[in-house]
Chains A and B, each alone.
Chain A
Amino acid sequence: NAGVTQTPKFQVLKTGQSMTLQCAQDMNHNSMYWYRQDPGMGLRLIYYSASEGTTDKGEVPNGYNVSRLNKREFSLRLESAAPSQTSVYFCASSRSVLSGNEQFFGPGTRLTVL
Chain B
Amino acid sequence: GENVEQHPSTLSVQEGDSAVIKCTYSDSASNYFPWYKQELGKRPQLIIDIRSNVGEKKDQRIAVTLNKTAKHFSLHITETQPEDSAVYFCAASKDSSASKIIFGSGTRLSIRP
Contact = CB atoms under 8 A, between A and B. Distances in A.
Majority SS at the chain A contact face: loop
Nearest to B6: A42
Contacts of A44: 103
Contact of B44 (A45, A100, A105): A105
Contacts, number: 57
Given A42-B89, A90-B44, A108-B43, A98 B95 contact: yes
* Interface residue range, chain A: 20 to 34
A99 B46 contact: no
Given A41-B105, A42-B104, A99 B97 contact: no
Contact of B99 (A42, A98, A107, A108): A98
Contact of B106 (A42, A56, A103): A42
A106 B98 contact: no
A50 interface: yes
Interface in B7-61: 9, 31-32, 34, 42-46, 49, 51
B49 A102 contact: yes
B44 A99 contact: no
Interface in A46-100: 48, 50, 56, 58-59, 90, 97-100
Contact of A43 (B9, B44, B96, B98): B44
Contacts of B51: 100
Contacts of A59: 102
Given A40-B105, A44-B103, A102-B46, 5 more contacts: A50-B98, A98-B97, A100-B51, A103-B101, A105-B45
26 contacts: A42-B104, A42-B105, A43-B89, A45-B101, A48-B100, A50-B97, A56-B98, A58-B100, A90-B44, A97-B98, A98-B96, A98-B97, A98-B99, A99-B31, A99-B32, A99-B93, A99-B99, A100-B95, A102-B34, A102-B49, A103-B46, A103-B101, A105-B43, A105-B45, A106-B43, A108-B43
